[in-house]
Structure 1
């Protein structure tokens, strides 16, 4: 309606404007009547078949032109966001994959599609799944969603779960160390709200004990740091890149793994769809 109004201001002729906008005159006339009713004033002087923009029409036209310019800019920005070559991908990821898997997949995808932009959002598994459901992120590097969740998931890697011990701990060099062997040690654990804590609690229960929790944290870096500083033991996924102050990692016996993959909710924007296809394609090579 605004675009027709601006065009009508330029031609001051119903027939010419209808031809330019490829609509019939009756539609244009009804549209103008609705606009004037909405504004509460006539915007044209009627002089036979000719329309002449009055002072109120000139005033309204100034704002209409600015509004149309803003809408055109908004359309261009939206198109830029969803362009599979130059758009934006809102990527969520777990704290524990921020140092290795995230840089790896970003580097690989940017080499394939250099014009793409990423918005990064770090969170816990429950947060990432909620963000996907609420359309606050497009895709997420996360553990598998619960059964029945309205999310798709593609497995990418498995993290080996390990008993984490401070360097120099008497048990650090024991081959085949089992979880039950550290039952009397103080534990540095993940907060009860985290998915990893639930996994570790189940493992301890199967091993026949309930750990004595000395410290709790939601941050995997904090848990690693506290164990490395000698404040307790714990169960951690072995990082892809070890740091100088890391704990000693002894794989759990029997082996336990934590799957990590890409989750999303259909439908996804074109850039994210291309990202998902690229991840799947790389795995198939």
Structure 2
């Protein structure tokens, strides 16, 4: 039983699907299935009930989940202490969404290195729920993410500064009948069309489903992904339309972005814990970003 196996188990407890866990952890789906089989063989009991392709924690799995999470928390705490000792405290731990890896992460890290060239930066990628969980556990110092949910139990302990806005747009391939629209497009124009959607582990899934439901629009979901770059490529290839955030200053060949009516945006910013000891460098970075 190793750290990766426990991470796979905890992810499966959330996604209830080997495909979504494979996407979340960026490993092969077959590796997920084999890891689960080894784990259940090692503990000597089934941890999930099988309902077709869906997995649901049984009583054994529910009991095991708390212990597995505790083990990983201890591993992260030990790693944190080792990093601090090795770097004599000169370390800033940054978590980030995959979708901001190419544009926001380099800019923020360059700003920090100009401010503190003597401090090492470690990076960790995850979904929004992961990032806020890591902030609460003090395993990262800052997160480049969407805003914390107001209903989150930890939202009162999290500071957040908006840095940019990405408008949510209808994304269609070049040459699509909607591509020549001269202004905002009503989402009802997507009714019945092949649609590239977000998988259940992506934080934008709820927002996009809400937009479609609000307009009482039914689409034909042909593929789901947690990777925005993958979804852009599928749209460009003519395999469907989608609703995607448009990154400021970025061009995506083969994709035409049409503003939604009414307008919707996704705010991206930097989050930090207001209660954890954390790194003093986190506060310095936030201050610098406020003053930019």
Distance 1:136 1:103, change over 3 A: same
Distance 1:249 1:127, change over 3 A: same
Report the counterpart of residue 215 of structure 2 in structure 1.
Answer: 207
Distance 1:156 1:244, change over 3 A: closer
* Structural RMSD (CA): 2.1
- Establish whether residue 275 from structure 1 lines up as the match of residue 285 from structure 2: yes
- Establish whether residue 156 from structure 1 lines up as the match of residue 163 from structure 2: yes
Q: In structure 2, the residue corresponding to 1:210 is in which secondary structure?
A: coil
Report the counterpart of residue 46 of structure 1 in structure 2.
Answer: none
Contact 1:92 1:121 in 2 (8 A): yes
How many residue pairs get aligned? The number is 205
Report the counterpart of residue 178 of structure 2 in structure 1.
Answer: 171
- Give a deviation string over 1:105-141, Cα, whole Å, max 9, x none: 1112212222222111111111111111222211101
Q: In structure 1, the residue corresponding to 2:96 is in which secondary structure?
A: strand
**What TM-score comes out, normalization by structure 1 length?**
0.67
Report the counterpart of residue 121 of structure 2 in structure 1.
Answer: 118
1:211 is displaced (CA, Å) by: 2.5
Report the counterpart of residue 267 of structure 2 in structure 1.
Answer: 259
Contact 2:190 2:217 in 1 (8 A): no
Task: Name the larger-Rg structure.
Answer: 1
- Give a deviation string over 1:176-196, Cα, whole Å, max 9, x none: 322111112111011022210
Structure 1 unaligned segments of length 5 or more: list them: 1-73
Map 1:125-140 onto structure 2 (within 5 A): 125-140=128-143
Structure 2 unaligned segments of length 5 or more: list them: 1-80
Contact 2:95 2:140 in 1 (8 A): yes
Contact 1:157 1:260 in 2 (8 A): yes
| Cα distance in 2 between the residues matched to 1:215 and 1:120 | 30
- Establish whether residue 224 from structure 1 lines up as the match of residue 227 from structure 2: no
Distance 1:217 1:76, change over 3 A: closer
